[in-house]
Amino acid sequence: MVFLRRRLIVLVLLGLALATNPDAGRVQADEGMWLFNNLPRQQLKQKYDFEFPAGWTEHVMKSSVRFNSGGSGSFVSSTGLVLTNHHVGADTLQKISTAEHDYYHEGFWAKTPGEEQKALDLELNVLQSIEDVTDQVNMAVNAEMSASEAFVARRGAISTLEKQSLDKTGLRSDVVTLYQGGAYHLYRYKKYTDIRLVWAPEFAIAFFGGDPDNFEYPRYDLDACLFRAYEDDKPAKIEHFLKWGKTAPDELVFVSGHPGRTSRLNTVAALKYTRDTQGPMLLDWLRRQEIMLQKFAQRSEEQSRIAQDDLFGTQNSMKAWFGKIGGLQDPEIMGRKEATEKALRAKIDADPKMKTAYGNAWTQLEKTQQVRREIATQYNVLEGARGFESKLFDIARTLVRLAEENEKPNRERLTGFTEAGRESLELELYSTAPIHDDLELTKLTDSLGYLLEKFGGDAPLAQKILNGKSPAGRAAELIGGTKLKEVAERKRLAEGGKKAISASTDPLIQLAKMIDPEARAIRKKLEEQVVEVERQAYAQISKALFELQGDSTYPDATFTLRLSYGSIKGYEEGGNKISPMTTMGGTFDHAAKHGNKDPWALPESWHKHKNDISPDTPFNFVSTCDIIGGNSGSPVLNRAGEFVGIIFDGNIQSLVGDFVYDERQNRAVSVHAAAILESLRKIYGAGALAAEIGR
């Protein structure tokens, strides 16, 4: 499933390196995650004879929705209905479920507006405008500054721009670093925070085939659910929403969504860091998480329910990373990256002026990989909080930092603690989403053990953290002793500021305080010795590319709105032709092929209404559109900008898309628009809801 886990965004920070594809300007493949203010008009004209009609891009942009929990979606009615994937809605489904009502598993349907269930901490963003602020950001930095000074000055300039924009427009305002510093754009969003669940199918059909079928094709998944955005306690009135449309194989389609992260221009040195250090560390950690969650879930049905969304997310990330590392371990793929880099460097070296201006970038980027390697463990454990895996610890750290950051001028604050981001921070901090002591305890015990393993049991910092106890003993003390489960206590501490934090005897607050100097120090090291140096070096590479290829390139994904294009098309795998579409009727055959056993056991509703549905209704399809994690829930559109499907996955071959797009086999997997309506009407008896869609 191609969505992002938010916590993972933090955890994989060490891998962050945004980039552009040096080949992008010239390829005729359906490649690219294009900026809405720099669309591939020429390519679309050449390959598909398509020109954007007037209003098309604004309409699509304002119909597209970002789920801040890690996915995409779209407005599909004037009455505020938002369509996304079940697995994007899962975060909310999990949080509103209880031991009595497991909506995550059983599905949900609000037959009346009054039954719609409010999400506890969900924020949706709808892009309103993009402004190029590259000059303003770069003005803050000058050549005399050290990397350290430059980082702070740049961050300050960005915070100020965001704050000014928020004050002026009232819109959420984020400055996005594109082309690794080649450009800075200010994105302004309309924000919705009163989001209610309307309908979700059963997990068994939303994720039919489970982990074994994940990232595979053919597929038969109804990975969809519906929310509704509210304003002032009433369904939001939506001007731009998508109408249902049609498409057919080989016809041009678009994907408008929020790809999370790609690394296509990463230098070979950076890719080798991912291959040899970051990837293996992350995979070991994900395996550890999966095993821990499995064992936890096995103990009882309630524990299984509590852990299910975490477990899914972990398995999903693991399979995705497994595919990525597999790509980097394939000499053919790495060979292509090496050849491309070599060719680019040869061109630069051939021109003395370019050589002086840009030729040193690769050496700089080799050095930063070395720093990454040196600090990876320390960073992941402390600042990435892999040593303190617990929602309550995250809350404690946020409170500790909030108190400290609040005392600084806005432009000097850590990212995430500035005034422009305050509302979003509080939405999460004061969430009433359930926190389960037993899961917290299991996670924290395991991660304190991880910390001991990584630091060594004799390390003074480890001993200070463990405080003379075993991981299990220390975790029990921390989780048992904290009061941070109470939202009122969080508010008290947040409002009490530094004084309240200093006076707090909460053991988790004390732990977060105790390790914060070390965590901040390693973060500073990353920012100053890696992030800023890489920004400047990649900016050089990007400039070289602009010079050589013009601006007809796309930047690497940044969890901001992008447009991809392609067509519905099968592919070959191991000599077999994979057909692009499946049908709803085929679902029953696929289940039978696997003995109708979990995870191929269909829900009762499907068995019951087997004869009601039209078996030929298209169910899932693949397209050549270029997507990545974060695109989950993105609408697939036809030439007319009408909704024809919803992205929910990529095939196994798409996973190397992090580094390289290959049209031969890379495919995005979608639920077909027709299947959503057919199941709402025939299986879920939700004809009225189906009728509301598109109107």
- Interacting residues with its own copies (CB under 8 A): 210-212, 272, 275-276, 279-280, 284, 287-288, 290-291, 295, 298-301, 318, 325-326, 328-332, 334, 449, 452-453, 456-458, 466, 468-473, 594-595
Nearer to its own copies (CB atom), residue 269 or residue 354: 269
Q: Where are the beta strands (DSSP E) in 451-580?
A: 562-567, 571-573, 576-578
Q: What angle do CA 687, 691, 695 make, to 5 degrees?
A: 165
Contact 534, 180 (CB under 8 A): yes
Q: How far is the CB of 631 from its own copies (least distance, A)?
A: 24
Q: Which of 481, 478, 475, 465 is nearest to 445 (CA)?
A: 475
Contact 626, 566 (CB under 8 A): yes
Q: What are the tokens at 361? A: 């970038």
Q: How far is the CB of 632 from its own copies (least distance, A)?
A: 22
Q: What is the spatial distance between Cα 102 and Cα 286, in angstroms, rounded to a whole number? A: 25
Contact 645, 618 (CB under 8 A): no
Nearer to its own copies (CB atom), residue 275 or residue 386: 275
How far is CA 511 from each of CA 470, 479, 482, 559, 606, rounded to the nearest angstrom?
15, 12, 11, 32, 50
Grouping H, G, I as helix, E, B as strand and the rest as coil, residue 124 is strand
Q: What is the spatial distance between Cα 102 and Cα 579, in angstroms, rounded to a whole number? A: 36
Q: How far is the CB of 512 from its own copies (least distance, A)?
A: 22
What is the layout of strands, in order, in the sheet containing 562-567?
Answer: 34-35, 562-567, 252-257, 635-637, 643-650, 668-672, 618-623, 581-583
Residue 632 identity: S
Burial class (CB in 10 A: 0-12, 13-18, 19+), 497: middle
Q: How far is the CB of 459 from its own copies (least distance, A)?
A: 9
Q: How far is the CB of 609 from its own copies (least distance, A)?
A: 27
Q: What is the spatial distance between Cα 215 and Cα 650, in angstroms, rounded to a whole number? A: 6
Nearer to its own copies (CB atom), residue 449 or residue 650: 449
Residue 125 identity: N
Q: How far is the CB of 278 from its own copies (least distance, A)?
A: 11
Nearer to its own copies (CB atom), residue 303 or residue 542: 303
Q: Which of 194, 64, 72 is nearest to 121 (CA)?
A: 194
Q: How far is the CB of 442 from its own copies (least distance, A)?
A: 12
With tokens 């598993």, the residue in question is 105
Q: What is the spatial distance between Cα 110 and Cα 686, in angstroms, rounded to a whole number? A: 10
Nearer to its own copies (CB atom), residue 373 or residue 491: 373
Q: What is the spatial distance between Cα 424 and Cα 433, in angstroms, rounded to a whole number? A: 15
Nearer to its own copies (CB atom), residue 132 or residue 211: 211
Contact 95, 433 (CB under 8 A): yes
Q: How far is the CB of 453 from its own copies (least distance, A)?
A: 4
Q: Which of 418, 375, 346, 505 is nearest to 174 (CA)?
A: 418
Nearer to its own copies (CB atom), residue 416 or residue 473: 473
Nearer to its own copies (CB atom), residue 631 or residue 654: 654
Q: How far is the CB of 579 from its own copies (least distance, A)?
A: 21
Contact 118, 422 (CB under 8 A): no
Q: How far is the CB of 458 from its own copies (least distance, A)?
A: 7
Contact 91, 122 (CB under 8 A): yes
Nearer to its own copies (CB atom), residue 377 or residue 638: 377
Q: What is the spatial distance between Cα 363 and Cα 13, in angstroms, rounded to a whole number? A: 22
Q: Which residues contact residue 576 at a Cβ distance below 8 angstroms, ignoring those fewer than 6 apart? A: none
Q: What is the spatial distance between Cα 629 and Cα 319, in angstroms, rounded to a whole number? A: 12
Q: How far is the CB of 18 from its own copies (least distance, A)?
A: 23
CA 330 vs. chain centroid, Å, equals 25
Q: What is the spatial distance between Cα 107 and Cα 198, in angstroms, rounded to a whole number? A: 10
Q: Which of 205, 218, 201, 154 is nearest to 180 (CA)?
A: 154
Q: How far is the CB of 378 from its own copies (least distance, A)?
A: 16
Q: How far is the CB of 341 from its own copies (least distance, A)?
A: 15
Q: How far is the CB of 359 from its own copies (least distance, A)?
A: 23
DSSP string, 673-685: HHHHHHIIIIIS-
Strand partners, 562: 35, 257
Nearer to its own copies (CB atom), residue 80 or residue 471: 471
- How many C-beta neighbours within 10 Å does residue 225 have? 27
Q: What angle do CA 360, 365, 366 make, to 5 degrees?
A: 100
Q: How far is the CB of 209 from its own copies (least distance, A)?
A: 10
Nearer to its own copies (CB atom), residue 418 or residue 445: 445
Contact 633, 259 (CB under 8 A): no
Q: What is the spatial distance between Cα 440 and Cα 443, in angstroms, rounded to a whole number? A: 5
Nearer to its own copies (CB atom), residue 218 or residue 421: 218
Q: What are phi and psi of 190, to 5 degrees?
A: -80, 140
Nearer to its own copies (CB atom), residue 468 or residue 517: 468
Residue 385, phi-psi category: left (phi > 0), alpha (psi -120 to 50), beta (remainder):
left
Nearer to its own copies (CB atom), residue 366 or residue 405: 366
Nearer to its own copies (CB atom), residue 353 or residue 597: 597
Q: What is the spatial distance between Cα 524 and Cα 141, in angstroms, rounded to a whole number? A: 18
Q: How far is the CB of 476 from its own copies (least distance, A)?
A: 11
Q: How far is the CB of 331 from its own copies (least distance, A)?
A: 6
Nearer to its own copies (CB atom), residue 445 or residue 583: 445
